[in-house]
Amino acid sequence: MGWMNRGAAAGGTTRVRGAAAEDVALAHLQRAGLRLVERNYRTPGRGGGEIDLIVREPDGTLVFVEVRARASRSQGGAAASVGAVKQRRLVFAARHYLLRWPAPPPCRFDVVAIEGDRIEWLRAAFDAGG
């Protein structure tokens, strides 16, 4: 039984499926040595953004992670779904998040793409100029 089926069994909502995909992505990142800092960070107010996962590399780099899940590549692929508008919202949310840091660490934006039972981790998928 794959992660998509677990989400469907728990009610099948987009939110449930998204949370299941985030669980899979987080476990993948943690196996690679990253540590969870925050999950589902949202900026206040309308028109802001949300960051699915904020994790930290062993070297201190803060990584803002967008999790994208698709049942198959027939929908264009999970990684391809992070367009310019989504990137701008992620950058906005990351900048807002970093306001709490007196001296922000090195940062990057990654995408964890889940397609069926395949996980692809795209490091530095885009930059803040996005």
The CATH number covering residue 62 comes to 3.40.1350.10
State residue 6's pLDDT score. 42
Say if residue 111's pLDDT is above 60.
Answer: yes
Number of domains making up the chain = 1
Q: Find the mean pLDDT for residues 32-54.
A: 91
State residue 107's pLDDT score. 97
State residue 67's pLDDT score. 96
Higher confidence at residue 95 or residue 12?
95
State residue 45's pLDDT score. 75
Strand ranges in the chain using DSSP code E only, listed in sequence order: 35-42, 50-56, 62-70, 107-115, 118-126
Say if residue 31's pLDDT is above 80.
Answer: yes
Q: pLDDT tier at 23 (50, 70, 90 boundaries)?
A: very high
- Which domain range does residue 47 map to? 3-126
State residue 82's pLDDT score. 84
pTM: 0.83
Mean pLDDT of the chain: 84
| pLDDT tens for each residue of 51-87 | 999 999 999 999 999 999 876 665 555 566 788 888 9
Interstrand relation of 35-42 and 62-70 (parallel, antiparallel or unpaired)? unpaired
